[in-house]
Amino acid sequence: MVVFDKPKSLADVPLHYCPGCTHGIIHRLVAEAIDELGIEGKTIGVAPVGCSVLAYNYFTCDMVEAAHGRAPAVATGLKRSDPDNHIVFTYQGDGDLASIGMAETVHAAARNENITIIFVNNAIYGMTGGQMAPTSLPGQVTQTSPYGRDTSHCGFPVKVSEMLSQLDGAGYIERVAVNNVKNVRNAKKAIKKAFQNQIDKKGFSLIEVISTCPTNWGMTPEKALEWVEEKMIPYYPLGVYKDRDADNKAE
Ligand SMILES: Cc1ncc(C[n+]2csc(CCOP(=O)(O)OP(=O)(O)O)c2C)c(N)n1
């Protein structure tokens, strides 16, 4: 009896991610959602620059590479070119989505583009070696804030889910984490719903996934999971920030 299997939407190759990095878990959840919804043949993923730049090696659906920050713009084109037959998702880091790509993110949400965004928030620029990101926490030590992020001159972190939920165009915004089994299960539900929304033509969905970067945080994988629970989740509370469907039903 098979009790555990690899999703078909995930290639059978070793991942390049560091030990304890949660990109691998998030890849799996996206692949499971694609499998369960039976959309592999029509799904196109867009991965820009960042640690997940090689995601095209891991997902078996079609993948397109975007310039840094531009994934929502590329996804918009792919979706609009054949809205009934393309299921399009982006897979973006916080440096990518909330810094260089902020304009694309905000306007894709404002336009209610019928796409699914997987936003991996690990509070740091991973690929380039651990510089401060728009989501780095106050006091967080990074390569460019060696004494800790000082908000008096570095400003404050951007809370993407809270911000986007204020836009009328955004359909579904949820923040999840993958630091324990319960949170991984919730993350799976949210990611699957974000794809289902697109199938149902409900418009823009973004799932923010609180993730780890033990290498650049300078922590063991175990300590990184604790840091998520103790530092990141209190600053970035988990939950549904916008669900147009539920809001409409409540009215
Ligand atoms: C136009 C452009 N500017 C800057 C870079 C350098 N760069 C590559 S990845 C990256 C940030 C990656 O951080 P994030 O998006 O948070 O993803 P992570 O690597 O942490 O998963 C930057 C600044 C680039 N490749 N292209």
The answer, yes or no, to whether any atom of ligand 1 lies below 6 A from the CB of 26, is: no
Ligand 1 mutation target, pool 128, 137, 140, most atoms within 8 A of CB: 128
Supply φ then ψ for residue 202, to 5 degrees: -95, 0
- Which domains does the chain possess? 23-250 (3.40.50.970)
Question: How much is the pLDDT for 248?
Answer: 84
- In this structure, the residue with its CA closest to atom 1 of ligand 1 is 68
* Unique residue bearing structure tokens 């902020």: 102
Give the tens place of pLDDT for each residue, 178-237.
999 999 999 999 999 999 999 999 999 999 999 999 999 999 999 999 999 999 999 999
| Residue 157 DSSP SS3 | coil
* pLDDT at res. 199: 98
Whether residue 69 has its Cβ less than 6 Å from ligand 1: no
- Global pTM reads 0.97
Angle at 209 between CA 234 and CA 133, to 5 degrees: 75
Token pair 């990101």 is found at: 133
- Closest to 237 (Cα-Cα) out of 208, 213, 206, 216: 208
| Amino acid in the structure at residue 46 | V
Burial class (CB in 10 A: 0-12, 13-18, 19+), 155: exposed
Checking if the pLDDT of 93 tops 80, the result is yes
CB atoms within 10 A of CB 56: 17
The number of the ligand 1 atom at minimal distance from the alpha carbon of 94 is 16
Is residue 18 classed as helix, strand or coil in its secondary structure?
Answer: coil
Short-list 134, 211, 208, CA closest to 170: 208
Q: What is the pLDDT of residues 123-161, one digit of tens each?
A: 999 999 999 999 999 999 999 999 999 999 999 999 999
- Spacing, Cα 2 to ligand 1 middle (Å): 39
**Amino acid letter for position 140:** Q
Provide the sign of the torsion angle of the four alpha carbons 57, 60, 64, 69, taken in this order. negative
Question: Ligand 1 centroid vs 191 CA: distance in angstroms?
Answer: 23
DSSP state of 147: T
Q: What are the tens digits of pLDDT across the range 54-81? A: 999 999 999 999 999 999 999 999 999 9
What would the pLDDT profile of 22-35 be if each residue is shown by its tens digit? 999 999 999 999 99
**How many angstroms separate the alpha carbon of residue 93 from the centre of ligand 1?**
8
- DSSP category for residue 137: P
DSSP state of 97: I
If you measure from the C-alpha of residue 49 to the centroid of ligand 1, how many angstroms do you get, rounded to a whole number? 5
